[in-house]
Homo-oligomer: A and B are copies of this chain.
Amino acid sequence: MRVIGIDPGLRTMGWGVIESDGSRLRHIASGACTSGGGDLGLRLLALHRQLAEILGQFAPGAAAIEQTFVNRDGAGTLKLGQARGVALLTLAQAGLAIGEYAPNAVKKTVVGVGHADKRQIEHMVRLQLPGSDPQGPDEADALAIALCHAFHSRGVRAADRVKA
């Protein structure tokens, strides 16, 4: 199973593609889409085009995205929401089912504790995905989200086998 994880953001949108084959995990590619400055519509279009190209190039079969933490900064929530909407649309256009995970669930799954900091997440991403070299927290978070989805899907599949 090939999974893309997305850490949504308007300025920078982290992405990471991994492959999960039984108990074996492999880093395929990762990076960050950027929207530059200027007109909001054109920034969203830039994010959409970069993400669509990534989906075309690496052809994941599943997607996962971070559930957005809603805080008291309404303007920030709106910006993030707009970028997240574009990410969800682009994934849906590619026919991908989308798993959503709260930040704490991602941390708990990948690091073992729900309050892990950025350094711990990056450390565990590097440990579990040899060869990955995330160039910033957005890329590391996106790989963590992909890992979280791979672990959860595996758990679901194992539970399915038990039921069957």
Binding site for B on A (CB under 8 A): 39-42, 44-45, 48, 68, 70-72, 74-75, 77-86, 88-89, 91-93, 96-98, 100
A89 x B48 contact (CB < 8 A): yes
Residue in B closest to A70 when the chains form the complex, CB atoms: B74
Shortest CB–CB separation between residue A64 and chain B, in angstroms?
12
Q: How many protomers of this protein does the assembly include?
A: 2
Interface of A is mostly: helix
Q: Which of B44, B89, B96 meets A92, CB within 8 Å? A: B44
Instruction: For the complex, give the distance between the alpha carbons of A78 and B45 in Å.
Output: 19
Which of B40, B42, B81, B96 touches A79 (beta carbons < 8 Å)?
B81
Contact among B45, B68, B70, B91 for A89, CB-based, below 8 A = B45
**A44 proximity list for chain B (CB < 8 A):** 85, 88-89, 92
